[in-house]
Structure 1
Amino acid sequence: MDTTLVFGASLKPNRYSNLAIHRLVGHGIKTEAFGLKSGIIGGVQVKTKIEDFQNIHTITLYLNPYNQKGYYDAIIGLRPRRVIFNPGTENPEFQNHLESKGIEAQVACTLVLLAIGQY
C-alpha cells in the first residue's frame, strides 16, 4: 500500500495539515506525519526526524515556500513519486527542482483531491 507523508503536520486541530491527516486515514490511506512537535493526530504519530521515514509514495506539503528551503534535500532524499503543493505552499523553484529529479510536483489541495476521488 502506498504511503502518504503529511509534511508540516500541526497538532492544532484547526490547521489544514491536521484535517488532512484525519481525512487521509478516513480514506484508508497509509499516513505518516512530520512536524516540529511530536504528538498523535487521528491515530498517526507525528515524528520530528526525517530519517524516521522510508518508502513514501506521496508527500503533501503544509510548509510555506520560505520554510521549505531547509528541507529540499531531505524531501528529495525520501524519493517520493509525487509532492503535492497545497494552497499557500506553491514554490516554482522547488517544483522545477523536483521535476528535474523525476518527482511529480502537483499543485493541488489534498482535501479537495480526496473529496472528489482524485487522490
Structure 2
Amino acid sequence: MILGATDNPTRYAFTAASMLDRLKFDFIPVGIKTGEVFGKPILDLRTRPAIPDVDTVTLYIGPQNQPEWYDYILSLKPKRIIFNPGTENPELEKLAKAQGIQVWPACTLVLLSTGQY
C-alpha cells in the first residue's frame, strides 16, 4: 500500500508506484488527492478504506500529518511500515513496534532498485 499516493509524476510516491508496477508488485494507492496511477484508482484516505492482507505500508506522508491516521494505519495490521526519508516518526514507530509491526526507516526506491524490497 502506498500511503500518500499521487498521480503527480514529480513526486516520489508516483516514482514508487511506477517501480512497483514495472517490477510486478501489487500495490494499492491511497491518498487525499483523486486520480489514478498505473491503472489503479487512488483510494480516498479520508474514508479510511478497508484493505485486507496488507503486507507493507510505504509512507509518503510527513510526520506532522501522520497523527490523525495512526489508528487507521495500525488497524490495517501490516507486516511492516517503510518510513521513507522525511516521514520518520518515533511516535508512530513505537506504536507500530508495540503491535509487532516491523519498522523500516528506508527508501522504497532504493529497496526496489537493490532487490531488498
1:50 shift after superposition: 2.3
Aligned residues: 115
26, 30, 34: which is aligned to 1:30? 26
Secondary structure at the aligned position of 1:24 is classed as helix
1:11 shift after superposition: 1.9
90, 93, 116: which is aligned to 2:91? 93
CA-based RMSD? 0.9
Alignment of 1:28-107 (within 5 A): 28-48=24-44, 49-107=47-105
Q: Distance in 2 between matches of 1:10 and 1:87?
A: 17
Q: Distance in 2 between matches of 1:25 and 1:45?
A: 14
1:42 shift after superposition: 1.5
Give the structure-1-normalised TM-score: 0.93
1:14 shift after superposition: 0.2
Equivalent AA in structure 2 for residue 112 of structure 1: V
- Normalized per residue, which structure has more strand? 1
Question: Is contact 1:80–1:103 with CA below 8 Å preserved after alignment?
Answer: yes
1:33 shift after superposition: 0.6
1:51 shift after superposition: 2.1
List gaps (5 residues or longer) in structure 2: none
Give the structure-2-normalised TM-score: 0.94
1:70 shift after superposition: 0.5
Q: Distance in 2 between matches of 1:82 and 1:65?
A: 17
Q: Distance in 2 between matches of 1:69 and 1:103?
A: 17
Equivalent AA in structure 1 for residue 14 of structure 2: N
Q: Distance in 2 between matches of 1:118 and 1:93?
A: 25
